[in-house]
Amino acid sequence: MLELALHVLDIAENSSRAEASLIEITIIEDLEKDIFSLEIRDNGHGMDRDAMEKALDPFFTTKKVRRIGLGLPMLKQATHTAEGTFFLRSEVGKGTVVHAEFRHSHIDRQPLGDIAGVITMLILGNPDIDIVYTHKRNGSSYVLDTRELREGLGEVPLNTMEVLNLIRDNIREGLDELSGT
């Protein structure tokens, strides 16, 4: 995976398979401290210690389509390549946290990529899962919370094309404001 947004998609899909009802995706950019932090937290089934070790093994997967599980091992490698840190924390019955932190300015840090498209795709494919996407940059923040959207939309499903287009555009506008463009 060449973009961090694709790692987010892969991990959030794992959360969906773990029957999470809430997925929280948080990105924090602190240019002064030279930190780019990415965290995905869910309330799914969680994993025991053995399952966590296997999740970080590139030659293990529970997926039927692909015979290797590259998602978490590739993200872990990407953090180390960019002088960062990685941790996986999980508890059976409580959920999982994946945290990756990079040196923001590192030449080998993968670009974020199309995070607006990824969040939109997650909502399209998982309309019953609550997703909270928070992006902070130098003290300013953007938050998209599907629980609030559902409340405002009433009976209109989140995964209708019109709503998805509005969500994607709103995320892009919010991120443009954060970056000052």
pLDDT tens digits along 154-181: 999 999 999 999 999 999 999 999 988 7
pLDDT tens digits along 80-125: 999 999 999 999 999 999 999 999 999 999 999 999 999 999 999 9
CATH number attached to the domain at 4-179 = 3.30.565.10
Q: In what order do the strands lie in the sheet with 85-91?
A: 85-91, 95-103, 35-42, 22-30, 130-137, 140-145
- The domain locations on the chain are 4-179
Q: Where are the beta strands (DSSP E) in 22-129?
A: 22-30, 35-42, 85-91, 95-103
Q: Which two tokens stand for residue 138?
A: 């130098």
What's the pTM value of the predicted model, to 2 decimals?
A: 0.92
